[in-house]
Amino acid sequence: MTDAVEDLERRRAEANARADDHRARRDKLNAEARTRAEDRARILEELHARSADAQALRRDRDDLNDQVREAKRLREEWNRKFQDLGNKVQELRRNRAPRPGAVPVWRLKKDLRELEFRHMTTAHSPDAEKRLIEEMKRLEAQIRDQDEHLQKDPEFDRASQELNAARDEAEKHHAAVGELAEEAQRAHEEMVHLYESIDDLRRQADEVQAKLLEVKTASDEAHRAHIAAIEEVRDLEKLLYAARGGRVPVGSYATAEPPKEEDFLARLKKGEKVSTADLLELQKAGRG
């Protein structure tokens, strides 16, 4: 009997040690799982924030692109108006007769262009160049004089003002196209950069999730092994209890009282394991 008791005590001590080892491993794995779950939550939070920022940039870019299209439409519209008004001004210039004895503006401009071309392409003596420059200045003065005279014509003056206004509007919308297009491009590039970082965060989250599942699986296995070792300890303590004639072994998981029926029912409701030895003890207790 003594040898049997000693063997049971040895086996109980080994089972206790295994239970402690499994519990320590389980607790360590659970701590690691919590850390990885926190890492995943942090990554997902950052991912969601960047996704919101990227969506906002997408909306900004699309809105800016709409503004670019509208600015282009207005630019084309005012360019057409500028062209039409320019044609109207030129028609008025041609149809307005110069003052008596004055050379028509078109002829003055033609002569001025010829002198400018000759000045740029032909070598001249200092005196000849001086005379050429003075002649060009004279033609320019006559053109200005003709223009000033023409500006006094109400119809021509109104057409000239409309032409200048159309040019200003066309230039304004042309500048807006460039500015809005640059803003849209910046928003697009920033959005693309964010989506690239989001893809990287998503890969990180997937890696952490895979490792978390691996750790949780290992933790569950350690927990089951811990429970199985505890059950083994309890089974061995029941055998020791019986072998010692009802005396509880030192450091026992068992109670001093024999197993009661309500204890077994409670364990069954909890889904805990009930061994054959448990059932035998219950039968003994029932016969007692």
Burial 219-249 (b: 16+ CB within 10 A, else e): beebbebbbebbbbbbbbbbbbbbbeeeeeb
Q: Please write the tens of the pLDDT for every residue from 174-205.
A: 999 999 999 999 999 999 999 999 999 999 99
Neighbours of 76 (CB within 10 A): 13
Tokens of 217: 């699986």
pLDDT of residue 232: 92
Q: What is the pLDDT of residue 246?
A: 64
Residue 163 main-chain phi, psi, to 5 deg:
-65, -45
Whether 242 and 280 have beta carbons less than 8 Å apart is answered as: no
User: Using CB atoms within 10 A of its CB, is residue 258 exposed (0-12), middle (13-18) or buried (19+)?
Assistant: middle
Nearest Cα neighbor of 236 from 8, 19, 14 is 8
Task: Return the closest-CA partner of residue 146 out of 155, 156, 158.
Answer: 156
Those residues whose C-beta lies under 8 Å from the C-beta of residue 113, and which sit 6 or more positions away, are none
Residue-level pLDDT at 225: 95
Local confidence pLDDT in tens for the 288 residues of the chain: 577 788 888 999 999 999 999 999 999 999 999 999 999 999 999 999 999 999 999 999 999 999 999 999 999 999 999 999 999 988 887 776 666 666 777 677 888 888 888 888 888 888 888 888 888 888 888 877 777 766 677 888 888 899 999 999 999 999 999 999 999 999 999 999 999 999 999 999 999 999 999 999 999 999 999 999 999 999 988 888 888 776 545 554 444 344 444 554 455 445 454 454 554 554 444 433
248-275 per-position pLDDT tens digit = 455 544 443 444 445 544 554 454 544 5
User: For the whole model, what pTM was predicted?
Assistant: 0.58
Distance CA 253, CA 159 (A): 109
